[in-house]
Amino acid sequence: MADTQYVIGPDRRAAPRILILLALLAASCARYRGPELPGAPAPSGGPPVTIRALLPQGRVVSLDLEDYVIGAVLGEVSPAGLQADAAERVLEVQALLARTYAIAHLGRHAAEGFDLCSSTHCQAFVDPGHAGAATIQIVRHAAQRTRSLVILATSGPIEAVFHASCGGHTSASTTVWPSAGYPYLRGVADPYCVRENEAHWTWTADAAELLLALRQHAVTRVATVADLKIVERDEAGRVTRLSVGVPGEIIHASDFRTAILRAFGPRSLRSTRFSVARRGSRYHFEGTGNGHGVGLCQAGAIARARAGQSTEQIIRTYYPGTHIGNLEARTRGQASIH
């Protein structure tokens, strides 16, 4: 998801914070983990204790993993508006995601002198000194309750990708990023995010500007978009391939969305779960969801926490077949959150 690749959403722009109740309207926060998903391999040695993080200001700091987790949770979710018990579970979920993601991608920027950046390429990170005392306290407690715990598959820490809202069904990683096949990143039905949030969006674009964006980002070399049409969808309803009306010119939907987001910003094509129709010289898109749609749906997780589901239930729903385990003990057994 290097900047030049598929960083999406708030991606290189402002570090997004999902406002929980306003939820998916903060669609601009569409955070996507780009198609270049498989990142650095998980470390083979002992558990890391230090993360070298590139802060938004361009400074590199060395942090204890647990301190890093606090900043990453602050960067990726806000407990505002949630009842205390639901907030605790949401923050626990996000702490597990943050820790698991950091472990799985440690050294991702090693060539640049640090481990993880603070954009959606890696994980958003907010300096705890910039957050309110009350927020810091509950985030810190969530990190402590999940200390050293990560989400594990039989292969080790999972690719803990997540997105703002799936719009009703998550997608398998292989349909969004064809080279990224993980058994726990499969599509699951998710009525929760739809129930609690307005996930519907619309966006229109001039046909000529659309073509320009696609050409600029090397998605197509055709001279004209004769007729933009959806060729294929996955089981979740996400578009996987489109035709521009030129024989043999098929575009993968992730590439299409990446080009659109780069050209028009994070509030344009918020997801690939859309339909499209031409009206005169403009294309009209209508869709649901926000983000790539793979892995955990933050809006759904929040709604599930509010409905009383446990942290473990939420994790297991979005990452089927995984479990929460203790990284330091190198165990694959179950672990509970205290």
Of 108 and 140, which CB lies nearer to Zn ion in the complex structure?
Answer: 108
- Least Cβ distance, residue 45 to Zn ion (angstroms): 21
- Least Cβ distance, residue 297 to Zn ion (angstroms): 3
- Are the C-beta atoms of residues 268 and 260 closer than 8 Å to each other? yes
Of 52 and 241, which CB lies nearer to Zn ion in the complex structure?
Answer: 52
With b meaning 16 or more CB within 10 Å and e meaning fewer, what string describes 171-197?
bbbbbbbeebebebbbbbebebbbebb
Question: Three-class SS of residue 129?
Answer: helix
- Least Cβ distance, residue 243 to Zn ion (angstroms): 28
Of 73 and 297, which CB lies nearer to Zn ion in the complex structure?
Answer: 297
- Please name every residue paired with 296 in a beta bridge, in sequence order, or none if there are none: 162
- Least Cβ distance, residue 282 to Zn ion (angstroms): 29
DSSP string, 82-123: --HHHHHHHHHHHHHHHHHHHHHTTTTTGGGTSSB-SSTTS-
CA atoms within 13 A on the CB side of 287: 29
Question: Three-class SS of residue 290?
Answer: strand
- Least Cβ distance, residue 311 to Zn ion (angstroms): 17
- Are the C-beta atoms of residues 51 and 106 closer than 8 Å to each other? yes
- Please name every residue paired with 285 in a beta bridge, in sequence order, or none if there are none: 203, 276
Of 37 and 166, which CB lies nearer to Zn ion in the complex structure?
Answer: 166
- Least Cβ distance, residue 139 to Zn ion (angstroms): 22
Of 122 and 126, which CB lies nearer to Zn ion in the complex structure?
Answer: 122
Of 168 and 266, which CB lies nearer to Zn ion in the complex structure?
Answer: 168
Of 16 and 325, which CB lies nearer to Zn ion in the complex structure?
Answer: 16
- Are the C-beta atoms of residues 75 and 118 closer than 8 Å to each other? yes
Dist. CA 124–CA 32, nearest whole Å = 11
- Least Cβ distance, residue 122 to Zn ion (angstroms): 3
Q: What are the Cα distances from residue 123, in Å, to 27, 33, 50, 113, 276?
A: 17, 9, 16, 17, 31
Dist. CA 280–CA 128, nearest whole Å = 50
Q: Under the rule (CB under 5 A), what is the footprint of Zn ion?
A: 117, 121-122, 166, 190, 193, 297, 300
- Least Cβ distance, residue 124 to Zn ion (angstroms): 10
Of 185 and 244, which CB lies nearer to Zn ion in the complex structure?
Answer: 185
